[in-house]
Amino acid sequence: MDKASFINRIRQAEKSRPETDLPEYSKIDTVSTPAISGSPKDAFVRNFISNHGDVIESADALVQFLKDKGCSRGVADAKLENTFGLEKFFKLDRDFDRGNPDAYDFGISAASMAIAESGAIVLKDKDTSDRLSTIAPWIHIAVLKEEDIVQTIADALEKTVDNAYSIYVAAPSKTTDVEGVLVEGVHGPGCQVCLIVK
pLDDT at 111: 95
pLDDT, position 171? 79
Which of the four pLDDT bands, split at 50, 70 and 90, describes residue 15? confident
- Percent with pLDDT over 70 in the chain: 99
One-letter amino acid at 149 equals I
The pLDDT of residue 105: 97
- Is residue 51 within 8 A of residue 171, CB to CB? The reply is yes
* 28, pLDDT greater than 80: no
Instruction: List % helix, strand, coil for the chain (3-state, nearest 5).
Output: 35, 25, 45
End-to-end, the C-alpha distance of the chain in Å comes to 57
| pLDDT (tens digit per residue) in 85-118 | 999 999 999 999 999 999 999 999 999 999 999 9
User: Quick check: 133 and 185 in contact, CB under 8 A?
Assistant: no
Please identify, in words, the CATH class of the domain defined by 39-197: alpha beta
Per-residue pLDDT at 22 exceeds 80: no
The pLDDT of residue 147: 97
Q: Is 192 helix (H, G, I), strand (E, B) or coil?
A: strand
For residues 115 and 117, give the distance between their C-alpha atoms in angstroms, rounded to a whole number. 6
Tell me the C-alpha distance between 94 and 96, whole Å: 7
Q: Are 118 and 170 in contact (CB under 8 A)?
A: yes
Question: What one-letter code names the amino acid at 146?
Answer: E
Question: Residue 178 above 80 pLDDT?
Answer: no
3-state secondary structure of 109: strand
How is the chain split into domains, by residue range? 39-197
Share of the chain above pLDDT 90, in %: 55
Helices marked H in the chain = 3-16, 40-50, 59-68, 132-135, 153-159
